[in-house]
Amino acid sequence: MRLPYSKVAKLEYLERRVDGWADQGAAIGVAAGQSAAAVASTEAARAAYDAMVAARQHAEAMHTAWLGAMKTAESDGRSCLRSIVTFAKNSPQPGAVYAAASVEPPRDKAPLGKPATPSKLRINLDTQGRANLTWGGTRHGGTVFAVQRRVIGVDGVQGPWDTIATVPQRKFVDEATPSGVRGVSYRVRGERVGGASTYSSPITLPLGAAGNQASVGGAIAPVQASDKEAG
């Protein structure tokens, strides 16, 4: 015979039985000392469990109270800091104001430099024969992305890079994807007030000499960029 699995179920199981064991000890083979011990320990377990539940509920209430109090304190503190900053800006000696308030002066914002080079450039051909490009890169500071395209003729000769779009998103659909060529390559760079990044490593979408787009299914073949190309 086994007790239930969970501790609470075990406690409830014993609570339903220990008093009967004490009353019927002689008839069920339980000594008086055994049943008395079982009654006392079960009562102690119940008291400890109830105290634990009460303490847990109290702790949850205290935690909720702490969060509410801290939210109010944070709001009031931010209000004071905003007033200090405003007062300091209009003061002939802003440094003295910050020192008196034991607050560090706001740091001057450093100008943004060039964005990082876009990464993870990917391309696929959709059912309408358009090249769909996606890439990774920061949009911080108003960064936009210049997209360049280069055509690979049926004779394998690569044409010049042409800028075909400048977009604010990290994606682009080439509505004029060339056909009837061996392939087309793309690369991307980030641009903002602080300058322009280097171009990403180009990737090439092979199209087949006759532009048989269905046969390649939008396969991509990464091309290693030379230092001249990536610049």
Residues 139 and 225 in one domain: yes
52 occurs within a structural domain: yes
Closest C-alpha to 221, from 109, 138, 137, 124: 124
pLDDT at 215: 35
Where does a domain end: 57, 84, 111?
A: 84
Record the pTM.
0.49
pLDDT at 229: 45
Contact criterion met (CB below 8 Å) for 222 and 203: yes
Residue that is written with structure tokens 């119940």 in the block: 46
Residues 76 and 170 in one domain: no
pLDDT at 209: 54
pLDDT in tens, the chain (231 residues): 788 889 999 999 999 999 999 999 999 999 999 999 999 999 999 999 999 999 999 999 999 999 999 999 999 999 999 999 999 999 999 999 999 999 999 888 778 899 999 999 999 989 998 999 999 999 998 999 999 999 999 988 999 999 999 999 999 999 999 888 999 999 999 999 989 999 999 999 998 754 343 333 333 433 444 444 444
105 occurs within a structural domain: no
Q: Is the Cα torsion angle 200, 206, 207, 210 positive or negative in sign?
A: positive
pLDDT at 218: 36
Cα(first)–Cα(last) distance of the chain, in Å?
80
pLDDT at 117: 96
Residues 127 and 179 in one domain: yes
Q: Using CA atoms, how far apart are residues 165 and 186, in angstroms rounded to an integer?
A: 11
Phi-psi category of 214—alpha, beta or left, where left has phi over 0 and alpha has psi -120 to 50? alpha
Residues 131 and 72 in one domain: no
- Number of independent structural domains in the chain: 2
**Three-state secondary-structure class, residue 44:** helix
Residues 25 and 79 in one domain: yes
Q: Structural domain of residue 183, as residue ranges? A: 119-230
Residues 16 and 60 in one domain: yes
